[in-house]
């Protein structure tokens, strides 16, 4: 898989990539709300568009509110109605329930398009009884009043998270089959105070957007440049064991609304290996019951030469798919003075901002952290893949009652050096010898180096070994399917030959087989047919091929006679035409004035003359 997108991101892509009137980068962006009311869920996203660029501002959703819930209200209503009026007691069985659900789905669509009472009629729904009923749109809306109230919440939530006012939304695009329900359309229009737009294909917008994204990522297709900046819908927290036994440190490492494909660097002080546990902060918002993301163990951590805790930098990232993982961990090791060993150092960074996320409170006599007065250290790593700056979190270890260290974000922007040269002041003694410029200071040699540490991760995803086993199993299953198909084809070939040959023996081949041969061959064909539906019902491909070859030994004799009889007139005609042609050549050869065939020896001509006479 090259890239995974949240459902409304491809919808926004399908909307924006074809727009030619988007504002330029230095102009105010166009804000558009997208609402996807599908079969199982309701999703809302507000995006801003500029020329060649899409940025998701906010997302909101109700994963358990969709078109099926509205259909289920009709199913529940008519179950009660039919059970009461027709005295049916078996409507809870799967078959009648499924038939009723399908008919209610059709009824819901008709109610969306008509204001009159719509009938519902089902033949032999249960207990050999035909049922019928009717429904009005007003009655349907009243039955779904509580569901319609839930539609409003994600709309208002997305608007609030975006930080925009209703007046800032320039368009509202709706997709999904459930957006055809008039009551849902009215609520969306009421929240955004705008008429709804349906310029996108309501059923295929997501698929088309995904196809466009695939084309953009593929080297085979050339597509207009268009960037997508997506966001993280759930806050992710990181937990770890502090030096104080029985206590856990934690922080929200990625907040809701943070840009995906984004990294942060956390600093820890440890003497031994330690473990980080990642989970979603608000389990109640998840459609999945478990909030656990994964456990990441940083290995091979050792103290400094003086026995103090070593500084460990851990880089965490949201991948292009929006999946959290620990990208790397490194131990910052101080080098002795005068060391000539090649070292890696972090470049200085410009602090762009900070937050108040809590970090590791490392306490205890076992590990002595640096003094609390030390300023938080900030570093920046080169990120050729990241468009966003790297967040830096230095988890120093102050006293337990001291303030938590700051989370700092480093910016890629640096102040360029002053390129203007100032003229030296005049002293009135122009003849004096000019002063020598000060010698440039030699760059200081780095005093630390970074050592990569191994990371062992345990996540809910499948391991490489499990994936390899499943791929191998899939290959075996495909091979078994291929063998099964070949066996079916061989069996069908035997059955087809039996029926086809039997018909031809009474029609096209009847003149080319004796009565005795015909009776014996028909008995053989009948025996093969009986065998197919008895012992030959499930045999191997080899058995069917052998059986077909045995039948063809007898049948091919008759077929050969028919072919010879059918092709004999044409063969005689070709032979006669050839004889006439050579007789003309012999006649011309006898004519001594004709030099056309004089290059042929007389002996060869005599052979041809003898053949034509025969």
Torsion of CA 19, 24, 25, 26, to 10 degrees: -150
Quote the strand ranges of 356-441, DSSP E. 391-394, 407-411
465-575 folds as Substrate Binding Domain Of Dnak; Chain:A; Domain 2 (1.20.1270)
Q: What is the pLDDT of residue 407?
A: 43
Q: Are 288 and 300 in contact (CB under 8 A)?
A: no
613 falls in which pLDDT band (50, 70, 90)? low
Q: What is the pLDDT of residue 612?
A: 53
- 356 pLDDT exceeds 50? no
Q: What is the pLDDT of residue 141?
A: 93
Q: What is the pLDDT of residue 350?
A: 32
pLDDT digits (tens, 9 = 90+) for 256-282: 888 888 899 999 988 889 999 999 988
CATH number of 236-413+445-459: 2.60.34.10
- Residue among 98, 93, 84 at smallest CA distance from 131: 84
Higher-confidence position of 45 and 586: 45
Residues with Cβ < 8 Å from 452, sequence gap 6 or more?
Answer: 328, 329, 330
Q: How is 210-279 classified by DSSP, letter by letter?
A: HHHHHHHH-SSS-----EEE-B-SS-EEEEEE-SSTT-EEEEEEE-TTPBSSEEEEEEEEESS-EEEEEE
What the block records as the tokens of 376 is 């938080």
Q: What is the pLDDT of residue 343?
A: 44
Q: What is the pLDDT of residue 1?
A: 58
Q: What is the pLDDT of residue 59?
A: 92
Q: Are 34 and 15 in contact (CB under 8 A)?
A: yes
- Residue among 114, 184, 180, 109 at smallest CA distance from 144: 184
What the block records as the tokens of 264 is 């942060």
Q: Indicate the range of 170-179, 288-297, 365-374, 585-594 predicted with least confidence.
A: 365-374
Looking at residue 363, the DSSP 8-state letter turns out to be -
Residues with Cβ < 8 Å from 242, sequence gap 6 or more?
Answer: 248, 249, 360, 361, 362, 363
What the block records as the tokens of 178 is 């459930």
Q: What is the pLDDT of residue 115?
A: 87
Query: Rounded to whole angstroms, how far apart are CA atoms 268 and 273?
Result: 11
CB atoms under 10 Å from CB of 54, counted, come to: 22
- 176 pLDDT exceeds 80? yes
CB atoms under 10 Å from CB of 64, counted, come to: 11
Residue 253 burial (10 A CB sphere; 0-12, 13-18, 19+): buried
The helices-and-strands tally (H runs, E runs) of the chain is: 11, 19
435 falls in which pLDDT band (50, 70, 90)? low
Region 319-330: what's the mean pLDDT? 90
Region 110-126: what's the mean pLDDT? 90
pLDDT digits (tens, 9 = 90+) for 129-150: 899 999 999 999 999 999 999 9
To which H or E segment does residue 600 belong?
none
Higher-confidence position of 290 and 491: 491
Strand partners, 85: none
393 falls in which pLDDT band (50, 70, 90)? very low
pLDDT digits (tens, 9 = 90+) for 560-582: 888 888 888 899 899 889 888 88
Domains 236-413+445-459 and 465-575 in one fold = no
**470 phi, psi to nearest 5 deg:** -70, -40
Region 468-497: what's the mean pLDDT? 94
- 413 pLDDT exceeds 90? no
- 357 pLDDT exceeds 60? no
473 falls in which pLDDT band (50, 70, 90)? very high
Largest CA distance in the chain: 139
Q: What is the pLDDT of residue 126?
A: 86
- Residue among 79, 27, 85 at smallest CA distance from 52: 27
pLDDT digits (tens, 9 = 90+) for 213-248: 899 888 888 888 888 999 988 899 999 987 666 677
Region 47-56: what's the mean pLDDT? 93
Query: Rounded to whole angstroms, how far apart are CA atoms 614 and 609?
Result: 9
441 falls in which pLDDT band (50, 70, 90)? low
Q: What is the pLDDT of residue 437?
A: 60
Query: Which sequence spans correspond to the domains of the chain?
Result: 1-230, 236-413+445-459, 465-575
Query: Rounded to whole angstroms, how far apart are CA atoms 593 and 187?
Result: 107
Q: CA 127 → CA 75, 82, 95, 102, 326, distances in Å? A: 18, 12, 12, 19, 60
Q: What is the pLDDT of residue 443?
A: 61
Query: Rounded to whole angstroms, how far apart are CA atoms 597 and 601?
Result: 9
pLDDT digits (tens, 9 = 90+) for 552-561: 988 888 888 8
- 37 pLDDT exceeds 90? yes
169 falls in which pLDDT band (50, 70, 90)? very high
CATH number of 1-230: 3.30.420.40
Tell me the percentage of the chain whose pLDDT exceeds 90.
Answer: 41
Report the chain's mean pLDDT, rounded to a whole number. Answer: 80
Q: Indicate the range of 47-61, 150-164, 212-226, 332-346 predicted with least confidence.
A: 332-346
Backbone torsion region of residue 543, taken as left when φ is above 0, otherwise alpha when ψ lies between -120 and 50, otherwise beta: alpha
Higher-confidence position of 340 and 575: 575
Tell me the percentage of the chain whose pLDDT exceeds 70.
Answer: 80
- 35 pLDDT exceeds 90? yes
Quote the strand ranges of 5-83, DSSP E. 30-37, 42-50, 53-62
Higher-confidence position of 373 and 517: 517
Q: What is the pLDDT of residue 241?
A: 83
- 189 pLDDT exceeds 90? yes
């Amino acid at each position: 898989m090259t890239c995974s997108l949240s459902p409304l991101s491809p919808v926004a892509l399908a909307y924006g990539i074809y727009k030619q009137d988007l504002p330029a980068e230095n102009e105010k962006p166009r804000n558009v709300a997208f609402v996807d009311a599908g079969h199982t869920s309701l999703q809302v996203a507000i995006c801003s568009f500029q020329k060649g660029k899409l940025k998701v501002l906010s997302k909101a959703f109700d994963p358990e509110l969709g078109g099926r819930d509205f259909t289920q209200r009709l199913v529940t209503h008519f179950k009660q109605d039919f059970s009461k009026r027709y005295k049916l007691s078996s409507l809870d069985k799967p078959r009648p329930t499924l038939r009723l659900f399908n008919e209610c789905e059709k009824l819901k669509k008709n109610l969306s398009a008509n204001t009159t009472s719509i009938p519902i009629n089902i033949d032999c729904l249960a207990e050999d009884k035909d049922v019928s009923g009717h429904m009005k749109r007003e009655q349907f809306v009243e039955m779904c009043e509580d569901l319609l109230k839930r539609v409003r919440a994600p709309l208002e939530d997305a608007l609030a998270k975006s930080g925009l006012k209703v007046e800032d939304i320039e368009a509202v695009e709706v997709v999904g089959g459930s957006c055809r329900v008039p009551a849902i359309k009215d609520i969306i229009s009421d929240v955004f105070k705008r008429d709804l737009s349906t310029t996108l294909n309501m059923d295929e917008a997501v698929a088309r957007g995904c196809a466009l994204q695939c084309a953009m990522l593929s080297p085979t297709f050339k597509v207009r440049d268009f960037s997508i900046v997506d966001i993280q819908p759930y806050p992710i927290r990181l937990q770890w064991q502090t030096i104080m036994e029985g206590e856990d440190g934690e922080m929200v490492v990625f907040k809701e609304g943070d840009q995906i494909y984004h990294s942060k660097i956390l600093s820890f002080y440890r003497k031994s290996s330690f473990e980080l546990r990642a989970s979603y902060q608000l389990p109640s918002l998840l459609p999945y019951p478990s909030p656990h993301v994964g456990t990441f163990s940083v290995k091979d951590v050792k103290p400094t030469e003086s026995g103090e805790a070593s500084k460990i930098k851990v880089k965490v990232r949201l991948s292009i798919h929006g999946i959290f993982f620990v990208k790397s961990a490194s131990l910052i090791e101080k080098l002795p003075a005068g060391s000539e060993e090649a070292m890696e150092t972090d470049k200085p960074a410009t602090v762009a901002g900070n937050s108040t996320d809590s970090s590791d409170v490392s306490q205890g006599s076992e590990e002595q952290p640096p003094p609390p007065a030390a300023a938080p250290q900030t570093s920046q790593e080169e990120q050729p893949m990241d468009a966003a700056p790297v967040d830096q979190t230095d988890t120093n270890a102050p006293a337990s009652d001291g303030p938590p260290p700051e989370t700092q974000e480093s910016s890629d922007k640096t102040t360029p050096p002053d390129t203007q040269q100032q003229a030296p002041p005049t002293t009135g003694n122009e003849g004096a010898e000019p002063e020598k410029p000060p010698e440039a200071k030699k760059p200081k040699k780095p005093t630390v180096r970074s050592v990569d540490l191994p990371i062992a991760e345990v996540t809910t995803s499948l391991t490489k070994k499990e994936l390899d086993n499943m791929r191998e199993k899939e290959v075996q299953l495909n091979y078994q399917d291929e063998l099964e198909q070949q066996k079916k084809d061989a069996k069908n070939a035997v059955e087809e030959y039996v029926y086809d040959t039997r018909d031809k023996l009474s029609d096209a081949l009847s003149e080319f087989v004796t009565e005795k041969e015909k009776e014996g061959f028909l008995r053989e064909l009948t025996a093969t047919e009986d065998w197919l539906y008895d012992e030959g019902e499930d045999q191997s491909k080899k058995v069917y091929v052998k059986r077909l070859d045995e039948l063809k030994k007898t049948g091919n004799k008759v077929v050969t006679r028919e072919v010879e009889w059918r092709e004999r007139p044409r063969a005689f005609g070709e032979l006669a035409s050839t004889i006439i042609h050579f007789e003309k050549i012999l006649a011309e050869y006898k004519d001594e004035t004709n030099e056309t065939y004089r290059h042929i020896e007389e002996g060869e001509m005599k052979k041809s003359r003898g053949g034509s006479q025969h």
